[in-house]
Amino acid sequence: MNPIWINKVDSTNSEALRRLPSLPSGTVLAAREQTAGRGQRGNTWFSEPGKNLTFSVVLKSLDLPAAEAFRLNCLCSVAVSDFLASYGVSSSVKWPNDIYVAGRKICGMLLENGLADGSVAYSVMGIGINVNQTEFPQLANATSMVLAARPEEATPSVAKKKADAPSGAPPSRLTAELDLVHCLDVFLGKLQALLPQLRSAELFEEYERRLYRLGTSARYHDMLEDVDFDGIIRGVDPDGRLRIEDASGEIRRYYFKEVSYIL
């Protein structure tokens, strides 16, 4: 996976889809500036130019049944979590694929899959990771690696292999910016290491283990019934449905856009 760096583009996912027929599997398009980055639910993804990682990975011929497409979310989420851990940043996965650090969003993803004959023909996996940005005027609940990483566990030049930082410990700023090219290389190494496990039980278990609010009582909004309720996340079904146990002990199952977190 050798990334192709683009100085300025509307969206790396949009560009990858435009060029899809000519792109071999494993192509990575990375932008120094996105003018119209796209996120889940039709949201825009704002990123300060030259400060963060905004890129798309193209995978083809995955031999993945369409019913198991959710595993691509697991793959990307665990890869980002492993990447952040190597810089001393402990994270969790807010279902389905937002990455949170200390209750704040550090990464968002947009996976666009093409299906053919009951299988995933291709996947364009768009990922935005906040790296060096320190101010988020348009986002009240965001953070970045430079804000959250521990300087004793990460440097701009070397990604040290460390265990997750202790939970509840206060974050501290890095004293220098991280090199984006090096960061992307580190991430792609994590992604490539996980690819052979795409259909494994171990990858799915790792994804579940890192779920934001797993086993913790919190407030949610049922978008189907338009009601708030207290619940505990118990895991995710193989088809990607989130399992939440409500106050009565009943397990509720939700597809994407059927439940929202009350933060």
Whole-number pLDDT of residue 245: 98
Say which DSSP state 198 is in.
T
Check whether 176 has a pLDDT greater than 80.
no
Task: Give Cα 67 distance to the centre of its chain.
Answer: 20
Per-residue pLDDT at 172: 45
Give the C-alpha separation, 197 to 202, whole Å. 7
Provide the pLDDT confidence category of residue 231 given band limits of 50, 70 and 90: very high
- Identify the pLDDT of residue 40: 54
- pLDDT at position 137, please? 83
Average pLDDT along the chain: 88
For residue 161, what pLDDT band results from cuts at 50, 70 and 90? Answer: very low
Task: Write the CA distances from 90 to 102, 170, 187, integer angstroms.
Answer: 8, 12, 15
User: Where along the chain do the CATH 3.30.930.10 domains lie?
Assistant: 3-209
Order the strands of the 104-116 sheet from edge to edge. Answer: 3-6, 28-31, 53-60, 119-129, 104-116, 98-101, 92-94
Domain(s) of CATH 2.30.30.100: residues in the chain: 217-261
- Of 61 and 150, the structure prediction assigns the larger pLDDT to 61
> pLDDT tens digit string along 59-77?
998 989 999 999 999 999 9
pLDDT of residue 39: 57
More confident: 248 or 169: 248
pLDDT of residue 140: 79
* Helical pair 180-194 and 70-86, crossing angle rounded to 10 deg: 130
Is the pLDDT at 156 greater than 60? The verdict is: no
The fourth-level CATH superfamily of domain 3-209 is Bira Bifunctional Protein; Domain 2 (3.30.930.10)
pLDDT for res 188: 97
Which of the four pLDDT bands, split at 50, 70 and 90, describes residue 158?
very low
Tell me how crowded residue 175 is: count the other CB atoms within 10 A of its CB: 9
Task: Say if residue 50's pLDDT is above 90.
Answer: yes
CATH of domain 217-261: 2.30.30.100
Sole residue written with tokens 């990975």: 57
Question: Structure tokens of 48?
Answer: 């300060």
Q: What is the pTM of this model?
A: 0.87
pLDDT of residue 235: 97
Summarize pLDDT for 94-149 with one digit per residue, the tens.
999 999 999 999 999 999 999 999 999 999 999 999 999 998 887 778 999 999 87
